[in-house]
Amino acid sequence: MLEIRNLYATVEGREILNGIDLIIRPGETHAIMGPNGSGKSTLANVIAGREGYVVTGGEIRFDGKNLLEMDPETRACEGVFLAFQYPVEIPGVANLYFLKAAVNAVRKYRGESPVDAMDFWDLVHERMELVKMDESMLKRSVNEGFSGGEKKRNEVFQMAVLQPRFAVMDETDSGLDIDALKVVADGVNALRNPERGFLVITHYQRLLDYIVPDYVHVLVNGRIARSGGKELALELEQQGYALYNEEPGRARRAA
């Protein structure tokens, strides 16, 4: 469903991604691991279409369509979801209201009528239980005053309500205690199905004990240095990334 071929990208003139190849088929969960600054978030942002992330080579296809031609909202409406590493606060906009606006935007794109209020309410409540979220969070402004853990949980909750076909989760585990981590993982696992693909970005192997990936890729200096099965994560946990860091100058050339 997602095909990334020979992808190069720069940020503020600096080369960050240096030829990435990655193919994710429906139903697969891929994990990307790598040291800080290796370009994990950059890859996530490029997939989501954030401004300032300039693709200088290669392509990304989503169900055969050229993703790079679409603006961010179109990508979202096509079913691409990004759980942000740092979710942003939107003061005064109730979480529930925001979600409804998002759901209706996607429905409109698909030519569907706005969601029925009761149906929406039922869906929201069902999904809230999935991530063990308190009802009070619905009325609070989007991410405003949320703890780090609440923000991450809210991302998974949004994903559960929007039910995208492909989700990138950018370090959704960082900053979570073990209980919160389990809740988030349970939420993700409940959404896994033969049609849905996941790209789980993490710095730690810990998350992958709970969200067991089909493939693990090691991202170093903007390239996939190695790919393997879930056991690769354990290996990395023991050996660290030092092994892969032989060419530290490569991606860090100053602009």
Minimum distance, C-beta of residue 225 to another protein, in the bound complex (Å): 28
Residues 68-97 binding another protein (CB under 8 A) are 71-73, 75-77, 81-82, 84, 87-88, 90-93
Q: Are 208 and 216 in contact (CB under 8 A)?
A: yes
We find the least distance from the C-beta atom of residue 105 to another protein, in angstroms, to be 4
User: Which residue's CB atom is positioned nearest to Mg ion?
Assistant: 41
Asked if 198 touches another protein (CB under 8 A), the answer is no
C-beta of residue 215 within 8 angstroms of C-beta of residue 227: yes
Q: How far is the CB of 218 from another protein (least distance, A)?
A: 26
Q: Looking at residues 94 to 113 of the shown chain, list those that interact with another protein (rule: CB under 8 A).
A: 98, 101-102, 105-106, 109
Q: Which is nearer to ligand ADP, 85 or 158 (CB)?
A: 85
- Minimum CB separation from another protein for residue 15, in Å? 21
Tell whether residue 41 is a contact of Mg ion (CB under 5 A). yes
Q: Are 161 and 192 in contact (CB under 8 A)?
A: no
Residue 88 binds: one of ligand ADP, another protein, Mg ion, none (C-beta under 5 to 8 A by kind): another protein
CB of 78 vs another protein, minimal distance in Å:
9
Which phi and psi (to 5°) does residue 225 adopt?
Answer: -80, -25
| Interface with another protein (CB under 8 A), residue from 13, 36, 52, 231 | 52
User: Helix (H, G, I), strand (E, B), or coil: what is residue 17?
Assistant: strand
- The contact mask relative to another protein for 10-49 (x = CB under 8 A, - = no) is --------------------------------------x-
Q: How far is the CB of 51 from another protein (least distance, A)?
A: 5
- What element of type H or E holds 19? strand 14-24
Please provide residue 222's backbone torsions phi and psi, each rounded to the nearest 5 degrees. Answer: 75, 15
Alpha-helical regions (H) of the chain: 40-48, 72-78, 95-109, 117-130, 136-139, 148-162, 178-191, 231-239
CA 226 → CA 20, 50, 88, 90, 128, distances in Å? 11, 26, 32, 39, 37
| Residue 16 interacting partner from Mg ion, ligand ADP, another protein, none (CB closer than 5 to 8 Å by kind) | ligand ADP
Residues that bind ligand ADP (CB under 6 A): 11-12, 16, 34, 36-42, 52
Q: Dig out the tokens for 146 from the structure.
A: 């949320």
Shortest Å, Cβ 79 to ligand ADP: 23
- By CB under 8 A, the residues from 129 to 148 that bind another protein are 141
The burial class, CB within 10 Å (0-12 / 13-18 / 19+), for 47 is: buried
What one-character-per-residue DSSP string does 49-110 give? T-TTEEEEEEEEEETTEEGGGS-HHHHHHHTEEEE-SSPPPEEEEEHHHHHHHHHHHHHHHT
Rg of the chain, C-alpha, whole Å: 18
Given the rule CB under 5 A, which of 34-42, 46-54, 89-97, 241-249 is the region that contacts Mg ion? 34-42
